[in-house]
Chains A and B, each alone.
Chain A
Amino acid sequence: MEQFQVRGTAKKRAGGHRHQAITGVNTSGNLEILVERVLPDRECLVDVTTAVTGFRAIWEAVIQEFFERSSPGGLRFSINDGGARPDTVTLRLMQSARLMETEA
C-alpha cells in the first residue's frame, strides 16, 4: 500500500457544472476514481492510494500528462488503485474528467 498526492495547474477550469462523479472499479488491474469539484479554477489534485508500491515516478508522469491533455481545473481526483497499468490509469482519468462535463 502506498499513498501520495500529485498537484498541478490546469490551463482552464473543467467544463460543466457537475459536482461529483465516480468511475471504474477497484479490482485487480483496474482502479476507481472519485472526482469532486472542490478546488479553485486553475488548480487540480490527484490523491493516489495504490495496492502496488514503487511506481510513484510513473504515476507522477501519467498524472502530469493528464493535466496537460485534459485541463481539469478545479477538480480533485481520489484514486483507489488495484494495480492498473499506466494506459488504464490514463484512460480512466480522461473518462472521469469528461464525466464532470456531462449532466449528472
Chain B
Amino acid sequence: MIDWQKQRNERNARLNAGSHYASGKMVPPESAKALLEAIIRPGDRVCLEGDNQKQADFLAEVLAGVDRSRIHDLHIVQSGIVLQAHLDLFERGIARKLDFSYSGPQGAALARALVAGKIELGAIHTYIELFARYFMDLTPHVALIAARQADRDGNLYTGPNTEDTPTIVEATAFKSGIVVAQVNEVVDKVLRVDIPGDQVDFIIKADKPFYVEPLFTRDPASVTENQILMAMMAIKGIYAEYGVRCLNHGIGFPTAAIELLLPTYGERLGLKGKVATHWALNPHPTLIPAIESGWVEQIHSFGSEVGMDEYISARGDVYFTGHDGTLRSNRLICQAAGLYACDMFIGSTLQIDLEGNSSTVTPGRIAGFGGAPNMGADAHGRRHPTAAWLKAGREAADGSAKLIRGRKLVVQILETFGEKNKPNFVETLDSVAMVKELKFDLAPVMIYGDDVTHIVTEQGIANLLLCRGPAEREQAIRGVAGFTDVGRKRDRKAVEALRQRGVIRRPEDLGIDPLAASRQLLAAHSIEDLVTWSGGLYQPPSKFRNW
C-alpha cells in the first residue's frame, strides 16, 4: 500500500511538535529557538527570507543559534546572502548547501567560505530563476519570512516591502511546508492582507522591525559631469531615437543622472510623454523630479525604498498601491514585467570584454546576479510588438531576413575607467579567472554580449545591433573604450569607418555640447532638493541627511 500523504503527515507531526511553544499561532520570541528546533529537520531545504532589500533578520539570528546536534546540513534556498547570520549558518555547520541569487555586501566573505569548503554551492541564480526552482526541484520544507503586521489568524501585512514573500509562501505552503513569520507588531486587524492567514503557521513578534537596506538611493551630489554627458547621450541617442516608453533602470549613478535629466534636458528635447512613461522600477528617489514634472504614468516595483513610503502613498496614480494606500511590491511579478513588457534595460556594470559580455565579479568577491540578467536579456518568448522593439529588430536584421523579430534594447552605460583608475574594459573578465579558482562549471556573466545592443561611455555610443560580425563588434567596443588598454589598441581606420556608418556616435555627432554637461543641468543637486521636490513627503534615511 503506497502512502500518498507522507508530506502532509510529516507536516502535521512538525506542527504538533511546534505547537508546544505556541498559543494558537503566536510564539513568544524567547521560544523562537525551541520552535525552530522542533519544526526543522536535518537536511531540510530552508528559505530564510532576505534579498537585496528586506531581511527576516530576527529569524536569521535565531536559526544561526540553534543546537547543531539537532539541526545540521540544511540546504539554504534564498534570494540573498546578505547578513552575517547567513554566513554563520555555514560556519557553524547548521547549513551545508546553498542555492542563492544575490550576495552584495557579503560577496567577499562568501568567496572565502567557498574556498574554505564551508559551503557546497548549488548555483548562483537570477531572482526569477531561483523562484522558478522553488516550484520544481528546490521547494522549501520551511520558510522563515518577515512582515510588518500579523493578526491572531496569521494574516500578514507586509507593508510596502512585499517583495519575495508571496512567492516563497506559495511554494512552501502549498507543498506541505511550514511557514514562520517574524512581524513588527501583532494587531487585531491588519491594514491589508498580503498573505492569507491559512498559509502561515507560526507568528513571532520580533524585538525590532525587520531590516531594510536603502539600496536604490543615489545622492545627486555625487553625480559627475561625465555621467551627465553619458546620460545626455543616452537620452538623445537611444531614448529619443527608439521612442522607449516601457523600461527598467539599474541602480548606478549614470542611470540616476538620466532620471535627473528627464525634466530638464529631456524636456528641452520635447520628449515628455513620448519616452520613459512606464517603468519596472523600485521607488528611486532620483525619479521624484520626473514624476513631479508629469513624465511618469506608472511604476511597478520589485520592492520599496526606505523613506519613500509617504511619497508613494500620496502618488497613488503612479505606483501600485493597496486599498490601504501603501505600496504593493512583488519581485517575481516585477521581474516578469521587466523581462516581457519592457522595451529597454539600461544599467551600469563593472567590466566589459571585447565581445560585450559584462560581469560584476571582481577578484575575491561573488556579488551574485540579482535581477539584472533577466532585465538585461532579450526575451525570446515575447510576441507583442512596439515601435522600439521592432526598430531594434530591424537594425539587427539589416533588412536581409524574410521574417524579422523584434529585439529588446539592452544598454550598458559605464565610464571607461572605474574606481582607482581601474579600466572597465578588459580583454578577459575577472570572472573567468575566478571560475578556475573555485572550480565552477560556469563563468558568472551578468549580461551576455549577444544580448547587449548598446554600450554608452563618455566617449560615445556603440550600437552593436548595427555591427556585422565579431570583428566589427570588437572595434565598436574598442572605439568607445577610451584610453584603457582595450581602447588604445583600436584600429583607428576601422573605428572611423564605424563612425561614418553611425555605429559609433561621439557626443559631437549627436550635437551634444560638452559645456552643457554641467551639474546645473540636474533637476536636483542634493538629497535635500529631492525632499523639496517631493513636498516634504520623501523622508531620507539618516545616512543620506547632511543638513
Residues of A within 8 A of B (CB): 58, 61-62, 69, 85-88, 90-91, 94-95, 98-99, 102
Contacts and interface: CB of A to CB of B under 8 A. Distances in A.
Interface in B415-444: 415-417, 421
Contacts of A102: 515
B513 A86 contact: no
A99 B226 contact: no
B513 A87 contact: no
A90 B482 contact: yes
15 contacts: A61-B488, A69-B508, A85-B415, A86-B417, A87-B226, A87-B417, A88-B224, A90-B458, A90-B459, A90-B482, A91-B458, A94-B507, A94-B514, A95-B515, A102-B515
Interface in B195-216: none
Contacts of A62: 483
Contacts of B517: 91, 95
A62 B459 CA distance: 12
Contacts of A87: 226, 415-417, 457-459, 482-483
Given A61-B488, A86-B416, A87-B415, A98 B514 contact: yes
Interface residues of B, number: 21
Given A61-B483, A91-B229, A85 B513 contact: no
Contacts of A85: 415, 417, 421
Contacts of B14: none
A34 to B, nearest CB: 17
The 3 closest A-B pairs by CB, nearest first: A86-B483, A94-B514, A98-B515
Contact of A98 (B224, B415, B458, B513): B513
Contacts of A88: 224, 226
Contacts of B508: 69
B220 to A, nearest CB: 18
A102 B508 CA distance: 17
B505 interface: no
A69, A87, A102 — most chain B CB neighbours (10 Å): A87
A91 B488 contact: no
A80 to B, nearest CB: 18
Given A58-B483, A69-B508, A91 B514 contact: yes
A95 B488 CA distance: 22
Nearest to B230: A87
Interface in B364-422: 415-417, 421
Contacts of A90: 458-459, 482-483
Given A86-B483, A87-B226, A88-B226, A95 B514 contact: yes
Given A86-B482, A98-B514, 6 more contacts: A87-B457, A87-B482, A90-B458, A90-B482, A99-B515, A102-B515
Interface string B508-526: 1000011101000000000
Interface in B426-476: 457-459
Contacts of B506: 69
B225 interface: yes
A99 to B, nearest CB: 7
A86 B488 CA distance: 12
A94 B415 CA distance: 17
Contacts of B514: 91, 94-95, 98
B414 to A, nearest CB: 11
B205 to A, nearest CB: 49
A69 B515 CA distance: 15
A61, A85, A90, A102 — most chain B CB neighbours (10 Å): A85
Contacts of B415: 85, 87
Contacts of A58: 483
Interface in B496-547: 506-508, 513-515, 517
A63 to B, nearest CB: 11
Nearest to A65: B483
A74 B488 CA distance: 27
A91 B488 CA distance: 17
Interface in B8-47: none
Nearest to A95: B514
B228 to A, nearest CB: 10
Contact of A91 (B226, B417, B421, B483): B226
B375 to A, nearest CB: 26
B264 to A, nearest CB: 18
B506 to A, nearest CB: 7
B499 to A, nearest CB: 11
Contacts of B416: 86-87
